[in-house]
């Protein structure tokens, strides 16, 4: 079976890879958007925190025999707690300054984290086995679907939509949205905004770590795995605009799919296609697809 | 404030004179290649500071200009056999053109988005350099001859090369100094301080931002092209985002928005890297990160900024 002269199995598997990448873009850009909404900073350490999430899972498995399912909860909690410490001890001091300082601080933190892990583990990747329950695959007729990859997409989407639900439909989310609009008024109404900010940063970071654990069996666990990814995610964020939660999710998934398609039809361009789309969006709709004019 | 500013203004020519003489005699006391590296990165950081320090635009993609100018200059000199000064001019113009493209796109957004857009665009340049055959991919552009300046002066002599680099630095620095102290520079500062007000005064803010961006990119390119001649090599590290981060660090450490800060920052970082490369290896990245964090949290004025503040306080007493 062929579609546009391309075997459907190839097209299907590349689209699946695209969907998986897109899921990671979605979770990561979602985390960036939530943090930006309340803290007004871009978390440059997001990629490093994603990498550390994967490493915590790998260390837990190889050193302490902690399995994948536990790591999937444990790793975001540990890295999220680290995020809380970072917010409390460092980021907090920068809120009154130009927002660029937050970017520079987290860039420095990213260098520290990546340097430390590179010193410890080198730049060659460590492989993380696929958990037993999710090994093997299903033949869908037109393509072969490894179960773990299907799981990544399902888990990522569940978390993304869960986050969307919490922010858009619950009381906590209402506080959060109100804090994004006008923190002073929310504070005056008796809500502990500093605590809300700390919690938000921790949660955004935990999302990155969660993505890291999901990614561990798909890619190699490598100290630099987050560094290049985060730049693509920045482009995703520019394309989508950080104004809407659903916008971040849809943009992430869509761009992942487009990247997958590019890999089938014109592989040389697959590394830059997201950036090219960013250029086009900037020319046509500078505020981003889902953004409000800034 | 005004008094101390004019005090600085009076002391400046003297300071520049002393630094110029030091620059002239330095290669006889210190290893010239090391000095040339400092001058190249110093010019790079000064060009970057023109944008961040005086217009308030944080570009996270300046490595693209340093690197692409280096590659263009290297290709011109090595593959087309032009003289070094033509290669340097070619590289600078190429970086300026690239800067125009980046600028047109990035100034459509402000603040944090500006930084992300420039970073993403420079990553695109990185991938293009990586995949394009003419650039040598992972190996970089090797064996670039230094050649004869104007077809006469042999630059393979390290001292001759040093004076060429020193001249290039002085020209670049003079352009930046002139730009900052011109009406153009005043408008840039006005945009930094209060953009809506600059707009309401009738200035075409986008045009000024773009001009500053192109100027900054060209001068970063000038530094990159010269650096390629010094090391006879253009490599992927020059276009990598780490380099964009490094120039931010140099400027921040030396003193944002000060004239000499970026040079001081560049000298400090280059010396540190040279010193540390042998002893601590891969810890260099960690140390750079720590300096970043310390600068942002405790030391936002940078070395030169702190010195100025110290002199100011002494002057008031």
* Tokens found for residue A52: 């550390």
Between A20-34, A119-133, B31-45, B235-249, the lowest mean confidence (pLDDT) is in A119-133
pLDDT of A99 above 90: no
Instruction: Name which of A186, A205, A2 is nearest A91 in CA terms.
Output: A205
Maximum average pLDDT range among A201-210, B6-15, B278-287 = A201-210
Q: Which of A96, A110, A118, A231 to mutate to test the interface with B (most CBs of B within 10 A)?
A: A231
Six token digits for residue B179: 């730009």
Residue A176 burial (10 A CB sphere; 0-12, 13-18, 19+): buried
Mean pLDDT value across residues A151-170: 90
Going by the DSSP 8-state scheme, the letter that residue B61 receives in this structure is -
CA distance A155 to A267: 28
Is the CB of B121 less than 8 angstroms away from the CB of A279? yes
- Between A70 and A6, residue with greater pLDDT: A70
Beta-ladder partners of B233: B142
Contact A238 B291 (CB under 8 A): no
What pLDDT is recorded for position B5? 59
pLDDT at position B7 is 64
DSSP 8-state class, residue B142: E
DSSP class per residue in chain A = -EETTEEHHHHHHHHHHHHHHHHHHHHHHHHHHHHHHHH----TTHHHHHHHHHHHHHHHHHHH---HHHHHHHHHHHHHHHHHHHHHHTGGGGTTS-THHHHHHHHHHHHHHHHHHHHHH-SSPBP-PPPGGG-SEEE-SSSEEEHHHHHHHHHHHHHHHHHHHHHHHSHHHHHHHHHHH-HHHHHHTT--HHHHHHHHHHHHHHHHHHHHHHHTTTS-B-TTHHHHHHHHHHHHHHHH-TT-HHHHHHHHHHHHHHHHHHHHH-GGGTTTHHHHHHHHHHHH-TT-SSPPP-
Contact A112, A118 (CB under 8 A): no
Question: What percent of chain A has a predicted confidence (pLDDT) above 90?
Answer: 23
Give the least confident one: A5-9, A144-148, A268-272: A5-9
Decide if pLDDT at A294 tops 60.
no
Q: How confident is the model at residue B317 (pLDDT cuts 50, 70, 90)?
A: low
Checking if the pLDDT of A65 tops 60, the result is: yes
What pLDDT shows up at residue B1? 43
pLDDT band at residue A54 under the 50/70/90 scheme? very high
Residues A58/A216, Cβ–Cβ less than 8 Å: yes
Q: What is the pLDDT of residue A292?
A: 63
Average pLDDT of the residues in B196-222 = 91
State the pLDDT at residue A34. Answer: 87
Disruptive mutation site among B269, B293, B295 for chain A (greatest number of A CBs within 10 Å): B293
Q: Which of A269-278, B219-228, B275-284 has the lowest mean pLDDT?
A: B275-284
**In the numeric block, which tokens belong to residue A189?**
């109404």
* pLDDT > 70 fraction of chain A, expressed in percent and rounded: 96
Burial grade of B172 (CB within 10 A; 0-12, 13-18, 19 or more): buried
> To the nearest whole percent, how much of chain B has pLDDT over 70?
96
Other beta carbons less than 10 A from residue B22's beta carbon: 10
> Which residues on B lie below 8 Å from A279 (Cβ)?
105, 121
What's the mean pLDDT in B104-132?
Answer: 86
B293/A112 touch (CB, cutoff 8 Å), yes or no: yes
Query: What gap in Å lies between CA B194 and CA B253, rounded to an integer?
Result: 25
> Cα dist. B99→A225, A238, B105, B190, B215 in Å?
29, 19, 10, 22, 8
- CA dist list (Å): A238 to A47, A275, B64, B213: 16, 10, 19, 20
Say yes or no for a CB contact (<8 Å) between B128 and A268: no
Quick check: A4 pLDDT over 80? no
Q: Mean pLDDT in chain B?
A: 87
Range of weakest confidence among A205-219, B28-42, B44-58, B122-136: B122-136
A121 contact B CB<8A: no
- Angstrom CA distances, A245 to A26, A47, A288, B166, stand at 10, 19, 13, 52
Q: Where are the alpha helices (DSSP H) in B232-300?
A: 241-254, 261-280, 283-298
Task: Give the model confidence (pLDDT) of B283-299 as tens digits.
Answer: 888 888 998 899 888 88
**Is B198:B205 a contact under the CB 8 Å cutoff?**
yes
pLDDT of amino acid B113 = 83
**Mean pLDDT value across residues A207-211:** 94
In the prediction, which pLDDT does B100 show?
A: 95
Chain mean pLDDT for chain A: 86
Tokens matching residue A17 = 């890879």
Neighbours of A11 (CB within 10 A): 20
Q: Considering only residues 218 to 247 of chain A, which have any Cβ-Cβ distance to chain B shorter than 8 Å?
A: 228, 231-232, 234-235, 237-238
A41 touches chain B (CB under 8 A): yes
Whose tokens are 């030396």? That residue is B254
CB of B292 within 8 A of CB of A105? yes
Contact across the interface for A119 and B296, Cβ inside 8 Å:
no
Tell whether pTM > 0.90: no
């Amino acid at each position: 079976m062929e579609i546009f002269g391309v075997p459907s199995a190839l097209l299907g598997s590349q689209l699946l890879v695209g969907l998986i990448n897109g899921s990671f873009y979605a979770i990561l850009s979602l985390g960036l958007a939530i943090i930006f909404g309340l803290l007004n900073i871009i978390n440059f350490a997001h990629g490093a925190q994603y990498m550390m999430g994967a490493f915590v899972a790998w260390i837990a498995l190889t050193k302490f025999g902690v399995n994948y399912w536990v790591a999937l909860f444990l790793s975001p909690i540990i890295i999220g707690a680290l995020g809380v410490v970072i917010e409390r001890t460092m980021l907090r001091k920068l809120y009154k300054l130009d927002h660029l300082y937050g970017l520079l601080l987290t860039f420095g933190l990213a260098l520290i984290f990546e340097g430390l892990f590179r010193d410890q583990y080198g730049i060659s990747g460590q492989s993380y086995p696929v958990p037993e329950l999710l090994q093997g695959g299903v033949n869908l007729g037109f393509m072969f679907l490894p179960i773990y990859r299907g799981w990544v997409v399902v888990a990522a989407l569940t978390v993304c939509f869960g986050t969307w639900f919490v922010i858009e439909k619950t009381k906590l989310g209402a506080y959060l949205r109100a804090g994004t609009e006008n923190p002073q008024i929310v504070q005056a109404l008796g809500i502990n905004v500093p605590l809300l900010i700390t919690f938000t940063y921790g949660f955004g970071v935990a999302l990155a770590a969660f993505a890291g654990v999901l990614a561990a069996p798909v890619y190699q666990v490598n100290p630099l795995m987050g560094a290049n990814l985060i730049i693509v995610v920045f482009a995703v964020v520019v394309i989508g605009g950080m104004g809407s939660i659903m916008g971040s999710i849809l943009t992430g998934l869509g761009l992942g799919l487009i990247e997958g398609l590019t890999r089938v039809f014109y592989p040389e361009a697959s590394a830059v296609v997201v950036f090219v789309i960013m250029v086009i969006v900037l020319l046509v709709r500078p505020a981003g697809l889902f953004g409000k004019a800034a | 404030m005004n008094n101390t500013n004019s005090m600085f203004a009076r002391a400046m020519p003297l300071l520049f004179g002393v630094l110029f003489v030091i620059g002239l005699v330095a290669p006889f006391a210190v290893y010239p290649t090391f000095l040339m590296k400092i001058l190249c990165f110093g010019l790079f950081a000064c060009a970057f500071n023109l944008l961040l320090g005086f217009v308030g635009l944080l570009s996270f993609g300046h490595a693209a200009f340093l690197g692409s100018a280096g590659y263009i200059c290297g290709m011109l000199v090595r593959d087309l056999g032009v003289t070094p000064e033509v290669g340097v001019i070619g590289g600078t113009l190429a970086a300026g053109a690239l800067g125009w493209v980046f600028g047109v796109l990035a100034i459509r957004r402000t603040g944090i988005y500006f930084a992300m857009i420039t970073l993403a665009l420079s990553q695109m340049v990185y991938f293009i350099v990586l995949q394009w055959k003419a650039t040598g991919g992972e190996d970089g552009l090797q064996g670039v001859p230094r050649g004869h300046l104007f077809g006469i002066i042999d630059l393979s002599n390290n001292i001759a090369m040093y004076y060429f680099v020193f001249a290039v630095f002085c020209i670049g620095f003079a352009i930046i100094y002139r730009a900052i102290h011109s009406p153009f520079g005043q408008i840039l500062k006005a945009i930094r301080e209060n953009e809506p007000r600059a707009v309401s005064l009738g200035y075409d803010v986008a045009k000024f931002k773009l001009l500053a961006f192109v100027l900054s990119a060209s001068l970063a390119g000038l530094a990159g092209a010269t650096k390629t001649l010094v090391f006879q090599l253009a490599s992927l590290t020059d276009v990598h985002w780490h380099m964009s981060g490094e120039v931010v660090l140099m400027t921040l450490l030396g003193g944002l928005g000060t004239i000499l800060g970026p040079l001081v920052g560049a000298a400090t970082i280059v010396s540190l890297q040279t010193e540390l490369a042998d002893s601590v290896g891969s810890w260099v990245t960690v140390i750079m990160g720590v300096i970043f964090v310390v600068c942002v949290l405790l030391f936002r004025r940078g070395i030169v900024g702190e010195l100025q503040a110290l002199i100011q306080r002494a002057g008031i007493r």
